[in-house]
Amino acid sequence: MSVAARETHGFQAEVQKLLHLMIHSLYSNREIFLRELISNASDAADRLRFEALANPALLEPDSDLKVRVEYDAAAKTVSVVDNGIGMTREEVIRQLGTIARSGTGEFISQLSGEQKKDANLIGQFGVGFYSAFIVADRVVVETRRAGAAASDGVHWESDGQGEYSVENLERTERGTRVTLHLREDAVEYADEFRLRTLIRKYSDHIAFPVVMTSTAEEGEAKEEAANEAKALWTRPRTEITDAEYQEFYRHVSHDFQEPLTWSHNKVEGKREYVSLLYVPARAPWDLWNRTGSRGLKLYVKRVFIMDDAEQFLPLYLRFVRGVVDSGDLSLNVSRELLQQDAVVESMKSALTKRVLDTLDRLAKDDPVKYATFWKEFGRVLKEGPAEDHANREKVAALLRFSSTHNDSATPDQSLADYIGRRKGGDEGGKKVIWYLTADSFNAARSSPHLEVFRKRGIEVLLLTDTIDEWLIGHLGEFDGHEFRDVKRGELELDGGDQPEAANPKPDAGEHQALLDRLKQTLGAQVQDVRATDRLSESAACLVIGEHEMGAQMRKLMQATGQTVPEAQPILEVNPAHPLLKRLATETDEARFTDLALLIVDQAHLAEGGQLEDPGAFVQRLSRILLG
């Protein structure tokens, strides 16, 4: 073996933090190191098989792809060896010394103490290689890229304490060998029975044989496959156990929790493909990075093509994990070709409907699990109606909201639930789904705009997500019911549980002098002042024009740097309220002005708004209290 150009490098800061957490916090989940290393070896074999489509010589002289697990109890070592694609020196430094994902360091620093003890941490970054340091105090990697010269082999070594060394070596074998020098408290893993049990537990689904050998045995080592070595998605559903489905999910997702549900389907006829799709139980850390890695593992005729093939599902379903294996695509398909392929578009449409049907079934069969899904992924699903008009109704049926039905902050009411309970509450003869937007649940449930609705027993959806108003704008209607904002325009209610409880309609002429005086005093702060019957306990509320942008939408546009047109609210007052009666008889203009401005400020605060001049509000309030 010839060795040259030895270099020592420091790990990227995020890697050092991750290694520290793994080494010191994950002892209860140590056995997962073998699964992660075998999974990496399988991926390397997959990638070689794909590259060999264009260059068959890469498979020579060893075309029998497999993963080998070697153990030596005397030397206290375990090695995972593959004859896959291998790595160049540059790839070794890039892949084993860094975590190439933005925001990783910040994410690690924000983890709570309890989370740091969770094995799920590994899956957050797809960095399974580093799990080797849970059981090893020294890790050695020997590798050579397929097609490279024997002299281009690479030797990488580290004790996981902050640095690693890399040097060239003479290596005749293609692929990668990862050798773990086990810690004293982890020598149990250098045992045939222990390793074979773990391989069957975690790696039975790997599409390549996983063979075992003992490097301490004399003579020629006997290799024996320890797994079934058949791609799980190609097997009949009746032959696959739930445990196997769950373990395969961990393989494709690097998530240590069980999935909420999955769908395994084989399509035959005009289009032929197999899909195995999973809905995770927990959102990945980069869920809101719309440009991050996402998508399904793509195989063509069981040959791996690419990870993260995002062309098969819309962006609002980016949380779905799994595999799609097509018999209709070319083996040399690229991302560019996928974007223009009619077959892919047909598959995307079918797979999207399958995911939505799976979620619908989960919601009906297991509401508790669906509640978990909604908590983790509900906000992402709300992007659907804008992105996928064809499935707008399907997505709408899956949405969940809080409402005045049970005044719960937990969004557990569907639109179908709302419609099933509605009794009147129409407007102008149109069937209506009433909603109210606010910055928080408490601000919504205590809004003065709800007073007449509560009094008449009309349910209102309480929408507190930043994108809810945007979502409603794209939904338009549901099951023949229009969405109507309780804070928008004039209110004309029909029916309800208790129509006799409606507030009497104020006589505009009777109160016109007060309304004119208020409007003159408030000036440009409001667009208009009018009497209303929507209030029974509050003195006033703010209403937006029928075609004006709501507060949520304004904030959303401002957050994206867009210019928002100026708009003044309409002040609606309750003439029967003692404060308004007091105003009607007030002869002191200064005091009238203070009271009028105070009423507007109260209306802003009641809907969770912010005052432009809090100091002036305090001074006015003090003058009134002292007066």
- DSSP of 333-363, one letter per residue? --HHHHTT-HHHHHHHHHHHHHHHHHHHHHH
Pairing of strands 224-225, 136-144: unpaired
Supply the pTM of this predicted model: 0.71
Query: Is 257 within 8 Å of 121 (Cβ atoms)?
Result: no
Tell me how far CA of residue 262 lies from CA of 358, 388, 489, in angstroms: 7, 22, 45
List pLDDT tens digits, range 41-70. 998 998 898 889 889 999 999 899 999 999
Query: Is 23 within 8 Å of 134 (Cβ atoms)?
Result: yes
Structure tokens at 112: 């709570």
* CA 583/CA 581 separation, integer angstroms: 5
List pLDDT tens digits, range 198-223. 998 878 777 889 999 887 655 455 67
Q: Is the predicted pLDDT of residue 558 greater than 60, yes or no?
A: yes
List pLDDT tens digits, range 259-309. 999 999 999 888 899 999 999 999 887 777 766 667 898 888 777 788 888
Query: Is 221 within 8 Å of 116 (Cβ atoms)?
Result: no
List pLDDT tens digits, range 224-246. 788 876 788 988 999 999 999 99
Question: If you ran DSSP here, which 8-state letter would residue 147 be given?
Answer: T
For residue 237, give every residue at least 6 positions away whose Cβ sits within 8 Å of its Cβ, in sequence order, or none. 264
- Among 131-145, 239-253, 399-413, the range scoring the smallest mean pLDDT is 239-253
Query: Is 539 within 8 Å of 574 (Cβ atoms)?
Result: yes
Mean pLDDT, residues 504-533: 85
Q: Enumerate domains of the chain plus CATH numbers.
A: 3-228 (3.30.565.10), 233-375 (3.30.230.80), 412-502 (3.40.50.11260), 509-627 (1.20.120.790)
- The pLDDT, as a whole number, for residue 121 is 42
- The pLDDT, as a whole number, for residue 15 is 73
Q: How many CB atoms lie within 10 A of CB 462?
A: 27
Pairing of strands 163-169, 3-10: antiparallel
List pLDDT tens digits, range 348-366. 999 999 999 999 999 999 9
pLDDT band at 500 (very low <50, low <70, confident <90, very high): low
Q: What is the mean pLDDT of the chain?
A: 85
Tell me how far CA of residue 21 lies from CA of 117, 131, 487, in angstroms: 8, 10, 50
Query: Is 572 within 8 Å of 534 (Cβ atoms)?
Result: yes
- The pLDDT, as a whole number, for residue 540 is 92
- The pLDDT, as a whole number, for residue 111 is 46
Nearest to 36 by CA among 101, 87, 80, 100: 80
Edge-first strand listing for the sheet containing 273-279: 261-267, 273-279, 321-326, 296-300, 303-309
Identify which has the larger pLDDT, 291 or 490. Answer: 490
Pairing of strands 321-326, 461-463: unpaired
76-90 core/surface letters (b: 16 or more CB in 10 A; e: else) = bbbbbbbbbbbbebe
CA angle 528, 496, 508 (to 5 degrees): 30
pLDDT band at 123 (very low <50, low <70, confident <90, very high): very low
* CA 430/CA 428 separation, integer angstroms: 5
Q: Is the predicted pLDDT of residue 403 greater than 70, yes or no?
A: yes
* CA 466/CA 483 separation, integer angstroms: 17
pLDDT > 70 fraction of the chain, expressed in percent and rounded:
86
pLDDT band at 94 (very low <50, low <70, confident <90, very high): confident
- The pLDDT, as a whole number, for residue 102 is 38
Q: How far is CA 425 from the centre of its chain?
A: 36
Query: Is 421 within 8 Å of 459 (Cβ atoms)?
Result: yes
Query: Is 468 within 8 Å of 383 (Cβ atoms)?
Result: no
* CA 140/CA 98 separation, integer angstroms: 17
Q: Is the predicted pLDDT of residue 564 greater than 80, yes or no?
A: no
